[in-house]
Amino acid sequence: MPQSIFKPVKQEKLSVKIGNQIKELILEGKIKPGQIMPPERKLMELLNVSRPSLREALKSLVGMGFLEITQNNRTIVKHLAASRFIDPFDHLLKEDVRTVFELVEVRKAIESWNAYYAAKRATDEDIESLNSNLELIRSHLEDDEDILGDMDAEFHMAIARATQNKIQMHMMFSISDVLRQYICTHYEKLVKVKIFEQHAAVVKAVQDRDQEQARMAMLEHIDYVDRKVRDSLIEKVDKGGLRQHLDMPLPN
- Does 145 or 157 have the greater pLDDT score? 157
Evaluated on CA atoms 84, 179, 151, 120, the torsion sign reads negative
Q: Are 98 and 195 part of one and the same domain?
A: yes
Task: Tell me which range, 63-67, 84-88, 96-100, is most confidently predicted by mean pLDDT.
Answer: 63-67
Distances (CA, A) of 199 to 47, 77, 162, 225: 39, 26, 15, 12
Q: How confident is the model at residue 174 (pLDDT cuts 50, 70, 90)?
A: confident
Q: How confident is the model at residue 240 (pLDDT cuts 50, 70, 90)?
A: low
Please tell me the predicted confidence (pLDDT) of residue 146: 62
Among residues 55, 77, 99, which one ends one of the domains?
77
Q: Are 144 and 159 part of one and the same domain?
A: yes
Q: Are 215 and 115 part of one and the same domain?
A: yes
Q: Are 130 and 56 part of one and the same domain?
A: no
- Does 107 or 179 have the greater pLDDT score? 107
Q: What domain count does the chain have?
A: 2
On whether residue 165 sits in a domain, the answer given is: yes
Please tell me the predicted confidence (pLDDT) of residue 248: 41
201 and 169 in contact (C-beta within 8 Å)? no
Q: How confident is the model at residue 30 (pLDDT cuts 50, 70, 90)?
A: confident
On whether residue 176 sits in a domain, the answer given is: yes
Task: Give SS3 for 241.
Answer: coil
Spatial distance between the Cα atoms of 129 and 159, rounded to a whole number of angstroms: 9
On whether residue 1 sits in a domain, the answer given is: no
Spatial distance between the Cα atoms of 141 and 38, rounded to a whole number of angstroms: 32
The CATH code of the domain that includes 56 is 1.10.10.10
pLDDT surpasses 60 at 34: yes
The CATH code of the domain that includes 185 is 1.20.120.530
pLDDT surpasses 50 at 172: yes
Q: Are 40 and 165 part of one and the same domain?
A: no
Please tell me the predicted confidence (pLDDT) of residue 252: 53
Distances (CA, A) of 153 to 10, 38, 42, 120, 178: 45, 23, 29, 21, 11
Q: Are 22 and 141 part of one and the same domain?
A: no
Q: Cβ atoms within 10 A of the Cβ of 170, count? A: 20
- Residue (of 180, 29, 190, 203) closest to 114 by Cα position: 203
pLDDT surpasses 80 at 17: yes
Q: Are 57 and 137 part of one and the same domain?
A: no
Q: How confident is the model at residue 49 (pLDDT cuts 50, 70, 90)?
A: very high
Q: How confident is the model at residue 250 (pLDDT cuts 50, 70, 90)?
A: very low
Q: Which domain does 175 fall in, by range?
A: 83-242
On whether residue 252 sits in a domain, the answer given is: no
Q: Are 98 and 171 part of one and the same domain?
A: yes
Residues forming a β-bridge with 226: none
Task: Give SS3 for 240.
Answer: coil
Please provide the average confidence, as pLDDT, over all residues in the chain: 81
On whether residue 7 sits in a domain, the answer given is: no
pLDDT surpasses 50 at 137: yes
Q: Are 67 and 91 part of one and the same domain?
A: no
Lowest model confidence (mean pLDDT) among 9-18, 57-66, 155-164: 9-18
Spatial distance between the Cα atoms of 133 and 149, rounded to a whole number of angstroms: 13
Q: Are 58 and 102 part of one and the same domain?
A: no
Length of the chain: 252
Distances (CA, A) of 227 to 162, 195, 203, 224, 246: 27, 13, 22, 5, 18
On whether residue 95 sits in a domain, the answer given is: yes
Q: Are 96 and 18 part of one and the same domain?
A: no
Q: Are 122 and 209 part of one and the same domain?
A: yes
Average pLDDT over residues 224-228: 85
Instruction: Supply φ then ψ for residue 251, to 5 degrees.
Output: -65, 150
